[in-house]
Structures are given as C-alpha cells and as structure tokens.
C-alpha cells in the first residue's frame, strides 16, 4: 500500500466530521454498484454464450481481467461456480506456453491474478511457474493488477470525493451495454468491470478504516506499551539527547519520537496525547534554519527526519516549511551545481550535509523526504540519484564504478574496487560496513548487506523504478537468498560475531519501509541444504511483528544489546526504529 493510500485512509479514519460528497451527500457505506456489476457480468456471459464463444473474453488478457474482477466483486465468483467460470479457465490454459507464460508479460500477470483469485489453492504450480517467467523476463512494460486498480481509486479519494463518484463514468458505460442500444466491446467491458469492482473494494477498505474495531486491530499491545514509554520520555512533545552529562532538546530525536507517536491511529489518541504531538510538531517548526534545514549538525539527516514527522501533520503552517526543506535537500545533492560530473563516484548522492561524501543510507532518507514534500519521481534529482544507486549495487550490468579509494576503517589502506554481481548493495561505491571480498586479481568487492540492500530497493521504488526492472529483480533475489530477522545479513564471517548485529533495528525499519513501498506481500525465501535449493513463502509482516514483539523489553522498549554501533545502545532510538517498522506490519 503506497504512502498516498495510507495517508488517505488515515485522514478518513481520523476525521470526526461526517464526510460528504460535493453535492453534500455523505459517503455511501457497504456495497456500491451492485446492480451495475451484476448486470454487466450477465451481459458479458449471455452474449458470449449466444455467440458460441469459448470464454468470456475474445483473448486471454480480456478473459483474465474479467475473471479477476468477478472474483473480487460482491459475488466473489469461485471455481465452484462451475460453468460460469470453468470454460474461461480452460480457455486460459489453452494459451499456456511450455515456459509457463500465457502470452506477453501483461497477459501472464493478469492470468496469474485470475487463477489465484478464482481458485487460490488449485493452481499453485502453474502460478509459480508463470511468476518465475515474469521475474526472469527483462522488460520495461508496466504491469498492473487488481490491487493497483484499488490503490488508484483510493489515491483519488478526498473528503468530498468517494469511490461512488470515481466509478460513475464506468457505471454509465455499463448501463449503455445492458440497457441496449450500444454494441458490447469486450476489452472495454473488462476495464469497466475492473473499475466498478475496484470501487467496491476501495469502499470496503474505507468502511474498515472507519470501523473502530478494525482500527483497534492494527494497534497492538506491544505498540501501546512502547507508546506509553515514549510519552514518558518527552516534555511538551520534545525529545532530548544526553551527551557529556548534559541533556538538550534535539530536532532529530524529536522527529523520530513524533513519527513513532504518530503511528498510533489518530482516532485512538486521547486529547492529551494529541496535544503532546501537536506541541512537538510546533516546536520542530521553530527549529528550521533560514536555508530550510533543521538542526545544527548533520543537517541533511536531521532535515529528512524532521520532514518525516511534519509531513504527517495537517496544519497549514507545514506546507511552506516543507517546501523550504525540499530546496535544502536538493541543494545537498552532489550534482553539476556543485562541480560534480557524472563520472565522479559521488555523483547523484546525498550525504549527512555540507561537503561530506554521499552514501546510500542518507540517500534513501533524502529521497523519501523529497517525495513527502511533493517532489515527483520523474524530477531530475531522482534520475541523478539512480546513477549513484546503481554504483552501490553489486550488479555488473549496471554498475560502472571501479577504481582506487581509501579504506575509511584502515589507515593507509587503498582499495582497488570493482563491482560484484549478487544484486545486493553496499554503503557507497567501493565501501561496505560488512567487509570486502578480495578477488584473485587483488581487486575488492564491497560486500552486499541487508540494511543497504533494502535501502536500495526502497530508493529504486521512490525513484519510480518498477518491480519488473532487472535492478529491482536482482535486489529482491538477494533478499530472497538472505532472508533473516536474526541478524543484519551479509557481513564477512571473518569480522566476528558482533558485526552481524550492527544496525539491527535500523535494518528492521528499512526492511519494512522497502517491502511495503515496493508492494511486496510475501518473500519467497530461498535456502540451500546439501546442494538442494528449497523455497518457502514468508509473510514478512507477520514474521517481523512476531519477532519484534518477542524482542520487546518489559518496560516497552527495544535496544540492541549485541552491538550498540550507530547509536543503537540508545533505547529511545531503537524503540523509534521498532515502532516505525511495526507501523508497516498492519
């Protein structure tokens, strides 16, 4: 579920007013367009029978779209509906090739949806083979699906625009067919049915979002306990950091703390809790510098964290502050404006701020903040970022970086860096906190590791790179082969046991953000035992939630007890990371 969708649902959950359409009527709850959907399905089927057609559609793609829509509509058509769906399923299998595909990528993707929707347990092998074909196929073609259609509807929902308005045009078109006088166009009928059913599904989501019982189900006791602890750490919404025996309010920690508190559904917050959050957000606004940044040190990092908190607030004062922050973050990017050329290692990157070199950790936070401030993914900043992103990925087909650079962890050591080819990512080109692989020719490959590979996947998604892009496919394949929640995977065993746990809670946060942003529901985990490869499906949300809940301490906090590097010895930071990860596990 993308960020716009989450925001839309949150706004609709949180409002205490009666939502009304532009004509003043409240949003209709329950099933909408029931008559139009039933009538259109009847027209499609009866006309197919009258024409002696094998299936509901004239081709595999149209048939698959119709079956998918039927499965998701209020009637929930299933394989048990026999002659209504069975001939169309048989028709689809006639189009199946030996490699498991059903035609082009778009058709195959829709057939997979249809088979899974109509008979979830009946075509596992066929679906798995078709999916493998899709994953292996290198194509720029954009593949959508039913979930994407629902998201498109929800992305357009506003306080006075609801699914019933967004499906009005499709409903009118459907009435033209079943009331007579208009010749049926089957391909257009499939798109029309999909739109009507997507509106039905979107309306159900809005119903659930406004249902107190449903809302309660996504706020767990573990989150509630951590929320209560965080409330005890703040003063007037502001979180402080202690250094050198002194404690002082800090914009970055306040940003993290407020994001964690904002994870509680607004409808469940008490008046006092909301007042604390509002007070903290108002304080953050006062901390903005003239150039749009926040804080006094590591300016880009702090600014991105603060944007994360402010962008979730609906106060009118936020908009100008976010626009100033956007300009500041863009100014930090290493590009032509700063004298960088595309051939430079750091081109397109963003670092902590100032003249510091760029890295993937700061870049993924920056890209997220830029999107939160309204910058579209086709902006040139994202295109420049892709140059750097590719150079952090161990994928020879896209990584053009090679050369000598100093090892920041070993005085006087020069690395002769080159790219690996496992699809994962390192901290910045040629550098990895997980160690290096030294090749026979003396060149070194910066090892891919978990948190940076998820940062790469998240960044590619924010930059508009599609899931079937070879770069994304390679990153996801690394994740599949290194799936674990026990450690931050990828570290060189020679570095010792402790290194496996560095940045562990940061890893959990970025993992959840990346998989959610990329729309990945399950991970097909790959394990190799005695040379035999075995894969199993993992519900990452369920597994991550259970893992974090098991790690929570009695007082509601989390802490990295095995490696405190990167400030993970602080319970405040680890707790905020964990809360951020859990918010994506709904």
Show Cβ contacts of residue 499 under 8 Å, excluding neighbours closer than 6 positions: 434, 435, 491, 492, 563
Indicate if 80 and 101 belong to the same structural domain: yes
For 290-309, what is each residue's pLDDT tens digit?
Answer: 999 999 989 999 999 999 99
For 254-289, what is each residue's pLDDT tens digit?
Answer: 999 999 999 998 878 888 999 999 999 999 999 999
User: Strands, E, within 150-273: which ranges?
Assistant: 240-243, 246-249
pLDDT higher than 80, residue 250: yes
Task: Report residue 408 CA to chain centroid gap.
Answer: 32
Indicate if 225 and 324 belong to the same structural domain: yes
Indicate if 295 and 264 belong to the same structural domain: yes
Q: Say how far apart CA 469 and CA 467 lie, in whole Å.
A: 6
Indicate if 199 and 231 belong to the same structural domain: no
What is the phi-psi region of residue 292: left when phi exceeds 0, alpha when psi lies from -120 to 50, beta otherwise? left
Indicate if 189 and 242 belong to the same structural domain: no
Report how many domains make up the chain. 2
Supply the pLDDT for residue 159: 66
Supply the pLDDT for residue 323: 95
**Residue 327: inside a domain, yes or no?**
yes
Indicate if 302 and 204 belong to the same structural domain: no
Supply the pLDDT for residue 161: 82
Last residue of a domain, one of 210, 230, 250: 210
**Residue 16: inside a domain, yes or no?**
yes
Indicate if 192 and 328 belong to the same structural domain: no
Supply the pLDDT for residue 10: 45
Supply the pLDDT for residue 211: 55
Containing 438, the helix (H) or strand (E) segment is strand 436-438
Bridge partners for 235 per DSSP? 238
The mean pLDDT value for 546-568 works out to 96
Indicate if 201 and 66 belong to the same structural domain: yes
Indicate if 175 and 229 belong to the same structural domain: no
**Residue 14: inside a domain, yes or no?**
yes
Last residue of a domain, one of 332, 348, 371: 332
Containing 414, the helix (H) or strand (E) segment is strand 414-418
**Residue 479: inside a domain, yes or no?**
no
pLDDT higher than 80, residue 5: no
Indicate if 234 and 288 belong to the same structural domain: yes
**Residue 432: inside a domain, yes or no?**
no
Give, in order, the Cα–Cα distances in Å from 399 to each of 56, 353, 420, 474. Answer: 47, 25, 9, 13
pLDDT higher than 50, residue 1: no
Range of the domain at 137: 3-210
**Residue 488: inside a domain, yes or no?**
no
The mean pLDDT value for 315-344 works out to 93
The structure tokens listed for 236 are 């007037």
């Amino acid at each position: 579920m993308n960020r716009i969708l989450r925001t839309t649902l949150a706004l609709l959950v949180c409002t205490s007013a009666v939502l009304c359409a532009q004509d003043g009527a409240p949003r209709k709850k329950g099933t909408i367009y029931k008559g139009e959907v039933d009538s259109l399905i009847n027209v499609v089927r009866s006309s197919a029978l009258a024409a002696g057609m094998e299936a509901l559609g004239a081709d595999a793609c149209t048939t698959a779209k119709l079956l998918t829509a039927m499965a998701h509509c209020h009637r929930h058509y299933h394989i048990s509906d026999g002659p209504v769906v069975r001939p169309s399923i048989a028709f689809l299998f006639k189009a199946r090739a030996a490699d498991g595909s059903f035609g082009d990528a778009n058709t195959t993707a829709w057939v997979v949806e249809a088979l899974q929707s109509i008979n979830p347990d009946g075509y596992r092998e066929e679906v798995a083979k078709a999916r493998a074909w899709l994953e292996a196929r290198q194509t720029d073609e954009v593949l959508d699906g039913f979930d994407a259609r629902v998201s498109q509807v929800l992305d357009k929902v506003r306080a006075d625009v609801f699914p019933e308005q967004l499906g009005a045009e499709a409903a009118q078109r459907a009435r033209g067919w079943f009331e007579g006088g208009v010749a049926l166009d089957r391909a257009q009928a499939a798109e029309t049915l999909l739109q009507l059913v997507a509106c039905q599904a979107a309306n159900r989501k809005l119903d659930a979002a406004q249902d107190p019982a449903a809302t309660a189900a996504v706020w767990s006791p573990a989150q509630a306990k951590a929320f209560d602890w965080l409330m005890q750490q703040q003063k007037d919404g502001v979180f402080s950091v202690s250094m050198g025996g002194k404690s002082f309010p800090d914009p970055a920690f306040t940003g993290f703390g407020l994001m964690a508190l904002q994870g509680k559904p607004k409808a469940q917050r008490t008046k006092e809790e909301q007042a604390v959050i509002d007070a903290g957000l108002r304080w953050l606004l006062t901390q903005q510098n003239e150039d749009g940044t926040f804080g006094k040190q590591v300016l880009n990092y702090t600014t991105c964290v603060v944007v994360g908190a402010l962008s979730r607030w609906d106060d009118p004062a936020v908009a100008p502050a976010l626009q100033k922050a956007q300009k500041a973050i863009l100014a930090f990017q290493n590009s032509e404006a700063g004298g960088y050329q595309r051939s430079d290692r750091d081109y397109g990157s963003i670092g902590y701020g100032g003249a510091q070199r760029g890295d993937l950790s700061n870049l993924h936070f920056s890209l997220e903040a830029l999107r939160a401030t309204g910058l579209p993914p086709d902006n040139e900043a994202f295109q420049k970022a892709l140059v750097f992103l590719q150079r952090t990925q161990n994928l020879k087909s896209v990584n053009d970086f090679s050369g000598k650079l100093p090892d920041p962890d070993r005085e006087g050591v020069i690395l002769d860096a080159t790219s690996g080819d496992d699809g994962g990512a390192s901290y910045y080109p040629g550098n990895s906190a997980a160690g290096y692989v030294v090749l026979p020719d003396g060149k070194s490959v910066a090892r891919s590791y978990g948190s940076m590979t998820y940062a790469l996947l998240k960044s590619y998604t924010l930059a508009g790179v599609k899931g079937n892009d070879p770069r994304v496919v390679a990153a996801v394949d690394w994740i599949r082969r290194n799936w674990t929640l026990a450690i931050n995977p990828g570290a060189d065993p020679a570095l010792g046991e402790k290194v496996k746990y560095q940045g562990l809670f940061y890893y959990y946060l970025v993992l959840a953000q990346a998989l959610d942003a990329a729309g990945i529901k399950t991970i097909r985990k790959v394990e190799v035992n005695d040379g035999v490869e075995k894969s199993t499906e993992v519900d990452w949300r369920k597994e991550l939630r259970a893992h974090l809940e098991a790690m929570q301490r009695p007082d509601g906090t989390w802490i990295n007890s095995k490696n405190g590097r990167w400030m993970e010895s602080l319970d405040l930071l680890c707790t905020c990371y964990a809360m951020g990860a859990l918010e994506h596990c709904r």
